[in-house]
């Protein structure tokens, strides 16, 4: 059992509002770093909306268990449950540390 139809509608509305706001922001931006961040976020929202439509949204990409609705309300593009996200971040923290070091130099 993934999301209830009511909860899916709430998330869908949140995602669509966020997408509209980001699209406006994207149009107003000219610096590349901000633009690529906005584009990445817009892509995540697009994927989440597709998953809303086909019923996959709200299920963890790693363990396939339901993601807490509270977690989705806080972060509607979340694709992992809190447990898997924690594990995922631990793994990628090493990579981030490395590229953060490079960013600090630049
Ligand atoms: Zn999970």
Query: What is the rounded distance in angstroms from the CA atom of residue 17 to the CA atom of residue 71?
Result: 18
Q: How far is the CA of 3 from the centre of ligand 1 (A)?
A: 15
Q: Supply the pTM of this predicted model.
A: 0.79
Residue 17 has pLDDT above 80, yes or no: yes
Query: What is the rounded distance in angstroms from the CA atom of residue 100 to the CA atom of residue 90?
Result: 15
Residue 98 has pLDDT above 90, yes or no: no
- pLDDT recorded at residue 5: 92
Per the CB < 8 A criterion, the answer to whether 45 and 37 are in contact is no
Per the CB < 8 A criterion, the answer to whether 62 and 80 are in contact is yes
Percent of the chain topping pLDDT 90 = 78
Residue 19 has pLDDT above 80, yes or no: yes
Q: How far is the CA of 51 from the centre of ligand 1 (A)?
A: 16
Q: How far is the CA of 62 from the centre of ligand 1 (A)?
A: 5
The topology (CATH level 3) of 5-105 is: 1.20.120
Q: Is 66 helix (H, G, I), strand (E, B) or coil?
A: strand
Residue ranges covered by each domain of the chain: 5-105
Q: How far is the CA of 19 from the centre of ligand 1 (A)?
A: 25
Q: How far is the CA of 6 from the centre of ligand 1 (A)?
A: 22
């Amino acid at each position: 059992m993934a999301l209830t139809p009511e909860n899916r509608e709430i998330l869908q509305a949140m995602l669509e509002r966020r997408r509209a706001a980001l699209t406006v922001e994207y149009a107003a931006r000219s610096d590349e770093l901000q633009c690529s961040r906005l584009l990445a976020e817009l892509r995540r929202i697009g994927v989440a909306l597709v998953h809303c439509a086909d019923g996959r949204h709200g299920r963890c990409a790693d363990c396939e268990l339901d993601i807490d609705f509270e977690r989705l309300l806080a972060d509607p593009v979340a694709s992992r449950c809190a447990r898997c996200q924690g594990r995922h971040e631990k793994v990628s923290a090493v990579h981030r540390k490395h590229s953060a070091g490079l960013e600090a130099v630049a």
